[in-house]
Amino acid sequence: MKKEIEDVVLTKKYVVGLKTASFLYGFASLVAAIINFIFPFTEKDELALQFCFILAISSIIHFSISYFSSEKHYKKFLSALIVQIMLQGILMNKVNMADIAYTINIIPSGISGRLVDYAFFFPTLFLAVSIVLFRIKIFIFFIFLYITVLTLNLSPFLLDENVYFSINKLDIFNDNNVINRAVFMRNIILFFFIILIGITILWQANRHAQNSADFEKNNIVLGRYFSPDIKNEIEQTGLNFTEYEPKNLNVAVLFTDIVGFTKLSEKMKPNDVLQLLSEYQSIMVDCIFETNGTVDKFIGDAVMANFGTPKSYGNDAQNAFDCAKKMKIMLYEWNKNRIDKNHKVIEHRIGIHYGECIVGNVGGEKRVEYTVLGDTVNVASRLCELSKNYNNDLLVSKSLFDQIEIVEEYEEFSSHPIKGRKEKIDLIRIFLD
């Protein structure tokens, strides 16, 4: 499950990165197009118009990718962005080389080493933006891409015998073949500093993604066992269940199971049994959550819930009783649908007890379970079993009965023995309509 959650978390992050990077590429292209239109980058009008056209079309494509990207089509839009960047780079480089050739022709003294200073600008800018894609493999791809671009663009200058490096100000200003060594080294340092920063950011981002996946997994677990209100409170208060020491609390414990489930399941296909249990347990869980209860565990066809953990609402016994009544209603509605589909009617039993329990983490180092333990749990389970002897679907203890308000008819049985327990308890059979 963690791998699936991690994939979801990463995909969401990647989509945000793709939208952000596409927007930044589009914004940079649009600004460059506008500036180039007002203040041309080249003396040749034809080349200036080509620059504007390439940048304007590129900005439209980038903005479109940013707007339409989604988790469902993330890979397609990512591929489209990479293709667009490469195509834009090729076209702009082609125009740039034409401008360089034009510049060389009009410079009497040959190749201008000063043109080297401009070779680093767009590769460094686009490489920096690619960091926000949050994909280290894509970032490494762009590193090699832009190193290749720089190598191809700089080779004609660096291999020319007339071009040389200097930091002498007179040479730099008077000789077109001079490459400003200080500026050249700063550009290289900046380029590789962007690489180092990018790898560091992406490495940290992957660690954060792992933490986010763990958080989402815990969030899903909380949502399965606790009602939305309790879940939200746990998130807000930062309750850490890994450090939740066992303690004694007064808790209402409810057990429910399906009448005759063993015989019923013998005549059903395994998939149908699974479907039956899933539907039944889903209904029971909804009832538990709506009455501020906590799902403790599923045991075959049985559902165990408790009321009063991880926090008490002050009326936990009443909530447990209200839950049982709601279960009765929801089971009736479910059976109406089953009858319409010619399926067998499902009946269940419920037992509830109220008393002191040990609440907290139980288990060893490799597996820990947050649960409730103690005599109260055992009694609630026995009450659920005993209800079949009274031909009734709800049996509660006197300790719970004394804590609730009730208008339904009931019958009391004093000093009833409980299997596995020396002390007898008083039972209440409640007749739910």
> What does the radius of gyration of the chain's CA atoms come to, in whole angstroms?
36
Give the residue among 96, 106, 188, 101 at the shortest CA–CA distance from 179: 188
Q: Tell me: do 217 and 238 sit in the same domain.
A: no
Cα 136 to Cα 6, 200, 207, 226, 357, distances in angstroms: 16, 10, 12, 38, 51
Give the residue among 120, 106, 100 at the shortest CA–CA distance from 160: 100
Domain span at residue 61 reads 2-221
Domain boundary among 192, 221, 250: 221
Classify 360 as helix, strand or coil: strand
DSSP states of 28-82:
HHHHHHHHHHHS-SSS-HHHHHHHHHHHHHHHHHHHHHHHH--STTHHHHHHHHH
Give me the phi and psi of 5, to 5 degrees please.
-65, -40
How many residues does the structure list for the chain? 433
| CATH code where residue 381 lies | 3.30.70.1230
Rounded to two decimals, the pTM is 0.53
> pLDDT tens for residues 5-20?
456 667 788 888 899 9
Give the residue among 382, 328, 329 at the shortest CA–CA distance from 355: 382
pLDDT, greater one: 366 or 369: 369
> pLDDT tens for residues 55-67?
999 999 999 999 9
Given pLDDT bands bounded at 50, 70 and 90, which one contains residue 218? low
pLDDT, greater one: 154 or 232: 154
Q: Tell me: do 248 and 197 sit in the same domain.
A: no
Domain boundary among 178, 203, 221: 221
Classify 370 as helix, strand or coil: strand
pLDDT of residue 40 exceeding 70, the answer is: yes
pLDDT, greater one: 365 or 16: 16
> pLDDT tens for residues 327-352?
999 999 999 999 998 888 999 999 99
Q: Tell me: do 266 and 192 sit in the same domain.
A: no
Given pLDDT bands bounded at 50, 70 and 90, which one contains residue 246? confident
Average pLDDT score, the chain: 83
**Measured distance between the N- and C-terminal CA atoms of the chain, rounded to whole angstroms:** 42
Given pLDDT bands bounded at 50, 70 and 90, which one contains residue 226? low
Q: Tell me: do 353 and 419 sit in the same domain.
A: yes
